[in-house]
Amino acid sequence: MKKSCAARMVLLASMLIFTFSAPARGAMVIKLGVVTKPGSAQNIVAEKFKELIEQRSGGTITVKIFHSASIGNETEILQQVQLNQVQMAIITGGPFDTFDPIVRVINYPFLFKDSDQADRILDGPLGAEILKSLETSGFKGLCFSENGFRNLTNSKRPVKTPADIKGLKIRVMSSALHKAIWQNLGANPTPMPWPIYTELEQGVIDGQENPLWVMEVYKFYEIQKYMTLTRHVYSPHIDIASLKWWNTLDQKTREMIQQTIYEAAVFQRKDNRSKDAQRLAFLAAKGMIVEDNPDIGAFRVKVSDLKDMELYQDTRVNALLRKILDATR
């Protein structure tokens, strides 16, 4: 009798231990990768998504954000997403183009007039075509958030026209398109993954191009004297999941993730845009010399034949480029 009571106690104790140590039913940990650091555009999307989804799922979903290149550069994060070692990522448009050339379409120079037009196209059927296409490379495209309109900075001289760019060593993203843009503009483009502060500081490269938040958050005003508001490329992020992982999720979870990442993206786009004027003032106060009226007409002419280049000759890519060029005319 005594013995069976003790046995029952042991059983009860082990059940309790099991109850308290086992993860909650349906518990899921999403590893989410961004290459940039806290305070960056990518990280703002990631943090908003984490906050909302953890709340909405009642704690059954936890998001672990890997930032500051802790799991590699953007190309390496994309490879891990393909393998489902990382479930989600917020990645700048540029480095996608080696995985799926269709992404070149939305990085086309001087494509969008303004943010509203970018939103209309990217949130609409043409954007959906791009997201869908990524499935061929193992990505579930969820939506677009933004880096923003990219501007040129350099340490050598003021730039107003393409002639001023001649021979400048400009770092570009790992993207055949971005390389071609800067070749056409007369620069000496060097593809290089993020981050690039040391290379700029040591003079391995003279300049780079990125949206205003980057010059502030990464303190480029310390090492780049000149900035030109070229706004030559609108740079979206593509917010993705691993297709391998996505295929294992039930419909309800998919909908919750899809809806929540979209809300996080919309929140971040608005946040980013609301800070641009303030950032410009900050960078000027830090001593950057800003050319705010470059000869955009001359820049456009230099890149006008890109659409006829090899980069866009794939039939699918070419067809979508024509449609987007029409829709943004």
Site residues for ligand EAX per CB under 6 A: 35-36, 92, 147, 173, 194, 210, 214
Please answer whether residues 238 and 82 qualify as being in contact, where contact means their C-beta atoms are separated by less than 8 angstroms.
no
Q: Which residue, 1, 63, 3, 2, is CA-closest to 32?
A: 63
Residue 239 Cβ vs ligand EAX, minimum distance, rounded to whole Å = 14
The residue (of 53 and 173) whose beta carbon lies closer to ligand EAX is: 173
Residue 35 Cβ vs ligand EAX, minimum distance, rounded to whole Å = 5
The residue (of 182 and 245) whose beta carbon lies closer to ligand EAX is: 182
The string of DSSP codes covering 95-130 is GGGGT-GGGGGGG-TT--SSHHHHHHHHTSHHHHHH
Cα–Cα distance for residue pair 48/147, rounded to 1 Å: 16
The residue (of 57 and 107) whose beta carbon lies closer to ligand EAX is: 107
Per-residue three-class SS string for 203-265: CCCCEEEECHHHHHHCCHHHCCCEEECCCCCEEEEEEEEEHHHHCCCCHHHHHHHHHHHHHHH
The residue (of 61 and 159) whose beta carbon lies closer to ligand EAX is: 159
The residue (of 108 and 194) whose beta carbon lies closer to ligand EAX is: 194
Residue 10 Cβ vs ligand EAX, minimum distance, rounded to whole Å = 56
Residue 173 Cβ vs ligand EAX, minimum distance, rounded to whole Å = 5
Minimal CB distance residue for ligand EAX: 194
Cα–Cα distance for residue pair 212/282, rounded to 1 Å: 10
Residue 210 Cβ vs ligand EAX, minimum distance, rounded to whole Å = 5
Distances (CA, A) of 214 to 16, 49, 181, 241, 260: 51, 21, 20, 25, 25
The residue (of 35 and 170) whose beta carbon lies closer to ligand EAX is: 35
Residue 21 Cβ vs ligand EAX, minimum distance, rounded to whole Å = 40
